[in-house]
A and B are shown apart, each in its own frame.
Chain A
Amino acid sequence: MSVSIQANSTAARLARWLLGCAVRHWPEETRPWGLALAAEIDETASAFETVRWSLGGIMLFTRSVLSGAWKWMKLPAGSSLSDGVNRPKGPSLLPKRSRVFTTVVLGAAALLLALPEGREAILTVRASWQEYQQSDSDARKLEGLADRAEKEKDASTLAFVALSTGDPKRAEALTERAVELDPQLVWIYGSKNRSWPNFDSPKAEWLAQLQASDPDNAVAYLLAADALDPLRIRPFYRRGIPKDAEFEVAESDSKWMALMERAYGAPRYDSYFQRHYQLTRTVWNREKNLSPAIVFSGLRSHAIPSLANLYLFADVKYTRHRRRERRGT
């Protein structure tokens, strides 16, 4: 026997065996056809014919299995192809939608999660549950942004990172670098909330520069007044309405009074939040993969002048006026 014939015989035996396996697992609905096809294999005249016939049978088997699977998919979840005969009539607890419907819904959900917008929606919800706390990967992302911005001398991205990072030292360095590259960004000197965890009040020279660049804005003076003594307000209203003598102590702080007077005399009040928002929007549109924690923690930590300071100043002014009235001056 030649090697070729031997190989053919082996192939034929394998083909017969495969067809036999297929017949054993053939779907019930078309099983007689599988048996009919398999019964003909003994008639084949050559090994090649045997293999060809078996391959056709395996194709038919695959087709029958897929057809059965498709029919099964079209049934509601929990039911089977044989249920149709024995299932009792009447209301059923089983779902009425087909498995195809369920698969399509699950597929659509998976697709939604695979889309960048879908992932972003999930990240936003998760970030809100965690109160927009930045993760280590957020910190690394910000560092990567800062490094790239530094190489490209991109002042606005540096400013964005400065306002978004949770590291006070890094924020300070980046703030100065951003303003050095683009002096128009001086407003970022007054945009980081001093009460944000671990952050100190803005530096006095920063606030002086802010006042010089935007002299008509009350916020620059209010932030400077806040920075003089951030804890000054707390004792005042702790024990109810303060006494006149306590207001006189506050009034005696001439630096604070001068800043507050200038703030009240300023024609404008601009907290720079709109600029911060626009800066964030610009960077976010450019860097699509920024996590919501990065974006919102920056905006959430935007500086707002102390309302208690304003309240105290109003009280000081009122007390002074009442005192003058009493004196008749």
Chain B
Amino acid sequence: MGLRIRLSKQTLAVLDALLGRAGQWQHGYSLSQSTGIPSGTLYPILMRLEKLHWLETRWEEVKTPGRPPRHLYRLSGNAREWARQEIRAAQERHFWKPAGNEV
């Protein structure tokens, strides 16, 4: 297993959102929309997950000239299982519930 960290409720929400479309690349704004986490909180979480190698990132190819390329995120192969374990453990501890059922 990769580096284990103490996960906050917001981090668990981001992991849950990433797991919801596991294997697919997601944009920062869509993650913010699905989790309700503002950009100022979301990006430090993404930065930390990338540093721990839980997150794969890449730049999108420019589709519309004049618009900057967007950054894409998805969980790394191993991180998907770690994230599931963490989410399960958090739910068992009643620390966190998925969106809509949150404590």
Report A's interface with B, CB cutoff 8 A: 30, 32-33, 35-40, 42-44, 52-53, 55-60, 63
Interface hits, B35-66 → A, CB 8 Å: 38-44, 46-47
- Please, could you name 15 A-B residue pairs with CB atoms under 8 Å apart, sorted by A? A33-B43, A35-B68, A37-B39, A40-B28, A40-B39, A40-B70, A40-B71, A43-B27, A43-B30, A53-B29, A55-B38, A56-B41, A56-B43, A57-B40, A60-B39
- Kindly report which residue of chain B lies nearest to residue A30, judged by CB atoms: B47
Whether A60 pairs with B43 at a CB distance below 8 angstroms is: yes
Kindly list 19 other residue pairs between chains A and B, CB separation below 8 angstroms, not including A37-B28, A44-B29: A36-B70, A37-B39, A39-B71, A40-B27, A40-B39, A40-B71, A42-B67, A43-B27, A53-B32, A53-B38, A55-B38, A56-B39, A56-B41, A56-B42, A57-B40, A57-B43, A60-B39, A60-B40, A60-B44
Given contacts A30-B47, A43-B29, A60-B44, contact A36 B71 (CB under 8 A): yes
Contact residue among A39, A44, A55 (Cβ-Cβ distance under 8 Å from B69): A39
B34 to chain A, nearest CB (A): 13
Closest residue of chain A to B50 (Cβ to Cβ) is: A33
Q: Which of A30, A32, A52 contacts B38 (CB 8 A)?
A: A52
Chain B interface (Cβ < 8 Å from any Cβ of A): 27-30, 32, 38-44, 46-47, 67-71
A-chain residues with CB within 8 Å of residue B41 when the two chains form the complex: 56
Closest to B28 in A: A40
Q: How many A-B residue pairs have CB under 8 A?
A: 57
Q: Nearest chain B CB to A299's CB is how many angstroms away? A: 64
Q: Is the CB of B43 within 8 A of A36?
A: yes
Instruction: Report Cα–Cα, A56/B28, bound state, in Å.
Output: 12
Chain A residue numbers with a CB within 8 Å of B39 are 37, 40, 52-53, 56-57, 60
Q: With A44-B29, A53-B29 known to touch, is A39 a contact of B40 (CB < 8 Å)? A: no
Contacts of B46 in A (CB 8 A): 33
Q: Given A33-B47, A60-B44, answer yes or no on A39-B68 (Cβ-Cβ < 8 Å).
A: yes
Most chain-A CB neighbours within 10 Å: which of B30, B41, B70?
Answer: B70
List the 5 closest A-B pairs by CB distance, nearest first.
A56-B39, A56-B40, A36-B71, A59-B40, A40-B29
Distance of A57 Cα from B47 Cα, bound (Å): 13
Chain A CB within 10 A, most for which of B29, B40, B47, B67: B40
Q: B67 — which chain A residues lie within 8 A by C-beta?
A: 39, 42
> Measured between alpha carbons, how far is A32 from B32 in the docked complex, in Å?
18
Q: How far is the CA of A53 from the CA of B30 in the complex (A)?
A: 12
CB neighbours of A35 from chain B (8 A): 68, 71
Bound complex: CA A288 to CA B21 (Å) = 73
Closest to B38 in A: A56
Question: Closest CB of chain A to B18's CB: distance in Å?
Answer: 15
- Bound complex: CA of A56 vs CA of B46, how far in Å? 14
How distant is the Cα of A26 from the Cα of B40 in the complex, in angstroms? 15
**B43 CB contacts on chain A under 8 angstroms:** 33, 36-37, 56-57, 60
Residue of A nearest to B72 (CB): A36
The smallest C-beta distance from A320 to any residue of chain B, in angstroms, reads 101
* Cα distance, A40 to B30, chains bound together (Å): 9
B44 lies within 8 A of A63 (CB): yes
Q: In the complex the two chains form, what is the Cα distance from A137 to B27 in whole Å?
A: 70
Compute how far the CA of A13 lies from the CA of B71 in the bound complex, rounded to whole angstroms: 23
Q: Which interface residue of A32, A43, A44, A58 has the most chain B CB atoms within 10 A?
A: A43
Determine the chain B residues whose CB is within 8 A of the CB of A58 once the complex forms: 40
Residue of A nearest to B31 (CB): A40
